[in-house]
């Protein structure tokens, strides 16, 4: 389970976040490209935009459920 105390600093403010366990597998960026981006220098993904509609929310939930290292969370507000 993603830890809000270990969020990567580049996440935008809000409930959804990526923590430092991210392995940059590209799953979240492929699943929810409107909400996740890569920090290519540091080798991890982050939330660059919080979900604003039902479609984005559903895709973020899917990415969280499928994340192989459980690095996506939604309680980090």
Q: Residue 30 is part of a domain; what is its CATH number? A: 3.30.70.20
Render each residue's pLDDT in the chain as its tens digit; 77 residues: 899 999 999 999 999 999 999 999 999 999 999 999 999 999 999 999 999 999 999 999 999 999 999 999 998 55
**Backbone phi and psi for residue 11, each to the nearest 5 degrees, phi listed first:** -60, 140
- Tally of domains within the chain: 1
**CA–CA gap between residue 30 and residue 32 (Å, rounded):** 6
Residue 13 has a CB neighbour count (10 Å cut-off) of 9
**CA–CA gap between residue 5 and residue 15 (Å, rounded):** 12
Q: What is the pLDDT of residue 76?
A: 55
Model pTM?
0.94
Range of the domain at 58: 4-73
Q: What is the pLDDT of residue 75?
A: 86
DSSP assignments along 20-57, one per residue: TT----SHHHHH-TTTEEEETTTTEEEESS---SHHHH
């Amino acid at each position: 389970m993603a830890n809000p105390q270990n969020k990567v600093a580049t996440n935008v403010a809000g409930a959804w976040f990526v923590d430092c366990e991210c392995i940059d597998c590209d799953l979240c960026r492929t699943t929810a490209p409107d909400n996740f981006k890569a920090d290519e220098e540091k080798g991890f993904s982050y939330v660059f935009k919080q979900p604003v509609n039902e479609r984005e929310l559903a895709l973020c939930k899917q990415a969280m459920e499928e994340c192989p290292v459980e690095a996506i969370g939604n309680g980090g507000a």
